[in-house]
């Protein structure tokens, strides 16, 4: 049926497409063609508004096509959301036929460009949902959290590197407001945090694990910090903050970021995470014995899947080479980096530091293995919360300070604004939470506001964030901006 509709309109479009592809076509005529395509898109919408493809209304697609003539960016957002809905409600085996049909449809009505731009979005969605040609990371415990809460599917860091992101999370302020720009400027309580707000209302608040603040002695909003991981020597990466291209290579440490060894085994970070879990279990047991009824807040900071890319053997073995997807936009396949990224990457090109291709693939296996290692540790914490009787009245927020490129575009680590780097997982889970998916864009600053809202405290700095409870209770807001910025290691300028 859809092919018949396309063929009918194709006769009208044939000449337009020829003109569109003709390099001699003037800019003025290009605008006229765009307007005519919009009209024909509207005509198509009217004809098949009620047509359903495998139970999925084609109305969404046509609506996006019409909007493409006005705003390609807006169309991409809407199409992505429509595809997410479809993928969540239909068998995977239907997806490939659906993609082929939509591509054919878009090609024939003169919107091939739209399909090409959307292709990366589709890959991201398919990867997230574990479709056959992408990796399906084994995270049953995180899945359990998701099934009992709200998934924020468009969550982003305030800054795609550790220390500034964590300072933004603490204060609820963007980097340019708290002015903690990079990994050499750690938070030490110099600006009020959500922890300070809780303390002012006598809410017990403690931390276990990684904070990446300045020092254990600082008044940074925690009553007590258990085995905290802080920046090195209270200073951090001063050598990574030089921007002048003729000077930065003189001070930059020429060491392999991903670690000297990559593969199965144990590292100081995997050992540390196990210690964090053990300390958390003991903390919960002690809390139960004290029989306290007063509300409390516990922050738990696990390191994985942060490099070094070393993970215990059983997790490494979960992701053999033959199960891994091909590298996305591999420079070895002809992909060329954006000039700004190229300048940043030339200072520390991790992709060129592997001993051989086998080690590169071992790095990817280790990263996904660390994700499963993290998941098992989260499972142990959830079990302890349950066994000590806290699950029925505890809300759990699961998130991260940033993402990781894991080889996509020849990049490793974070520090840029590709989805792999700046998007973060975010789940709010609990017995009293309405389950579902919230697609409104959110950031770490919204988590800060959520914590103070949860305990009926005041915002520490009246930042731009909003409680995730409020956001989830309202309809999808595609106009909301998730702002992120980067001024840190290897950059030659600020980026947004």
Q: 203-221: string of b/e by CB count within 10 Å (b at 16+)?
A: bbbbbbbbbbbbbbebebb
Residue 96 near residue 294, CB atoms below 8 Å: no
Report the C-alpha gap between 59 and 305 in whole angstroms. 41
Model's pTM, two decimal places? 0.75
Collect all residues with Cβ–Cβ distance below 8 Å to 386 and sequence separation of at least 6. none
Beta bridge partners of 426: 399
- 397, two tokens: 């927020």
Residue 154 near residue 442, CB atoms below 8 Å: yes
Segment 210-229, tens digit of pLDDT: 999 999 999 999 999 999 99
Instruction: For residue 181, give the DSSP letter.
Output: -
Report the C-alpha gap between 7 and 12 in whole angstroms. 9
Tokens 């084609």 locate to 58
First and final CA of the chain: distance in angstroms? 45
pLDDT band at 29 (very low <50, low <70, confident <90, very high): confident
40-44, 192-196, 326-330, 353-357, range with the lowest pLDDT: 40-44
Q: Cα angle at 309 between 396 and 412, to 5 degrees? A: 90
Segment 151-171, tens digit of pLDDT: 999 999 999 999 999 999 999
pLDDT band at 235 (very low <50, low <70, confident <90, very high): confident
pLDDT at 12: 64
- 390, two tokens: 């806290």
pLDDT at 456: 96
Collect all residues with Cβ–Cβ distance below 8 Å to 394 and sequence separation of at least 6. 385, 430
pLDDT at 434: 87
Report the C-alpha gap between 366 and 135 in whole angstroms. 13
Of 68, 178, 182, nearest to 115 by C-alpha is: 68
Number of H helices, E strands in the chain: 18, 13
pLDDT at 141: 95
pLDDT at 43: 59
Q: What share of residues in the chain are helix, strand, coil (percent, to 5)?
A: 50, 10, 40
pLDDT band at 336 (very low <50, low <70, confident <90, very high): very high
Report the C-alpha gap between 126 and 351 in whole angstroms. 25
Q: For residue 120, is pLDDT > 50?
A: no
Of 305, 299, 237, 231, nearest to 269 by C-alpha is: 305
pLDDT band at 238 (very low <50, low <70, confident <90, very high): confident
- 123, two tokens: 């890959």
Strands 56-57 and 205-210 come out as unpaired
Segment 436-493, tens digit of pLDDT: 999 999 999 999 999 999 999 999 999 999 999 999 999 999 999 999 999 998 888 9
Report the C-alpha gap between 382 and 398 in whole angstroms. 11
pLDDT at 48: 43
Of 82, 134, 478, 455, nearest to 296 by C-alpha is: 455
Residue 489 near residue 240, CB atoms below 8 Å: yes
- 433, two tokens: 């939470």
Q: Residue 101 class from Cβ within 10 Å (0-12 exposed, 13-18 middle, 19+ buried)?
A: middle
Please state the three-class secondary structure of 448-470 as a single string: HHHHHHHCCCCCCCCCCCCCHHH
pLDDT band at 396 (very low <50, low <70, confident <90, very high): very high
Of 101, 113, 4, 94, nearest to 48 by C-alpha is: 4
Of 427, 438, 440, nearest to 400 by C-alpha is: 427
pLDDT at 178: 95
pLDDT band at 97 (very low <50, low <70, confident <90, very high): very low
Beta strand residue intervals within 234-325, DSSP E: 263-264, 297-301, 310-311
pLDDT at 20: 63
Mean of all residue pLDDT scores within the chain: 82
Of 155, 353, 165, nearest to 254 by C-alpha is: 353
How many whole angstroms from its chain centre is CA 274? 24
Residue 418 near residue 411, CB atoms below 8 Å: yes
Of 375, 389, 486, nearest to 427 by C-alpha is: 375
Report the C-alpha gap between 39 and 372 in whole angstroms. 50
Of 68, 301, 82, nearest to 170 by C-alpha is: 301
């Amino acid at each position: 049926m859809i092919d018949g509709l396309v063929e009918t309109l194709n006769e009208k479009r044939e000449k337009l497409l020829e003109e569109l592809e003709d390099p001699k076509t003037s800019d003025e005529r290009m605008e006229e063609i765009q307007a005519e395509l919009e009209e024909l898109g509207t005509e198509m919408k009217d004809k098949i508004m009620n047509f359903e493809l495998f139970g999925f209304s084609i109305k969404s697609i046509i609506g996006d096509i019409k909007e493409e003539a006005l705003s390609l960016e807006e169309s991409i957002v809407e199409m992505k959301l429509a595809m997410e809905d479809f993928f969540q409600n239909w068998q995977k085996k239907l997806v490939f036929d659906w993609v082929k049909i939509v591509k054919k449809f878009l090609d024939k009505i003169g919107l091939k460009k739209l399909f090409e731009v959307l292709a990366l979005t589709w890959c991201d969605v398919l990867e997230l949902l574990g479709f056959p040609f992408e990796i399906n990371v084994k995270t049953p415990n995180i899945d359990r959290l998701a099934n009992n809460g709200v998934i924020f599917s468009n969550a982003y860091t305030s800054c795609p590197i550790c220390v500034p992101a964590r300072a933004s999370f603490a204060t609820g302020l963007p980097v340019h407001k708290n002015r903690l720009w990079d990994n050499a400027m750690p938070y030490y309580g110099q600006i009020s945090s959500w922890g300070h707000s809780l303390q002012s209302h006598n809410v017990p608040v403690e931390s276990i694990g990684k904070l990446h603040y300045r020092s254990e002695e600082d008044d940074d909003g925690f009553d007590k910090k258990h085995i905290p991981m802080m920046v090195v020597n209270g200073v951090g990466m001063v050598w990574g903050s030089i921007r002048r291209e003729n000077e930065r290579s003189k001070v930059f440490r020429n060491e392999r970021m991903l670690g000297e060894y990559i593969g199965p085994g144990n590292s100081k970070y995997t050992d540390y995470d196990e210690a964090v879990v053990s300390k958390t279990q003991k903390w919960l047991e002690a809390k139960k014995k004290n029989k306290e009824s007063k509300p409390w807040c516990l922050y738990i900071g696990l390191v994985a899947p942060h490099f070094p890319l070393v993970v215990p053997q059983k997790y490494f073995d979960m992701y053999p080479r033959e199960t891994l997807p091909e590298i996305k936009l591999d420079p070895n396949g002809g992909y060329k980096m954006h000039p700004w990224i190229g300048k940043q990457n030339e200072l520390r090109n991790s992709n060129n530091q592997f001993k051989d291709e086998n080690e590169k693939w071992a790095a990817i296996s280790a990263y996904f293995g660390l994700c499963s290692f993290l998941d098992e540790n989260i499972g142990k914490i959830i079990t302890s919360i349950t066994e000590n009787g806290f699950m029925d009245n505890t809300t759990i927020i699961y998130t991260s300070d940033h993402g990781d490129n894991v080889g996509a575009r020849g990049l490793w680590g974070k520090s840029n604004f590709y989805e792999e780097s700046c998007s973060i997982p975010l789940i709010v889970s609990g017995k009293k939470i309405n389950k579902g998916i919230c697609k409104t864009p959110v950031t770490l600053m919204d988590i800060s506001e959520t914590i103070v809202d949860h305990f009926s405290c005041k915002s520490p700095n009246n930042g731009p964030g909003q409680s995730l409870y409020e956001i989830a209770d309202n309809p999808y807001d595609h106009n909301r901006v998730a702002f992120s910025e980067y001024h840190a290691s290897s950059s030659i300028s600020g980026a947004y």
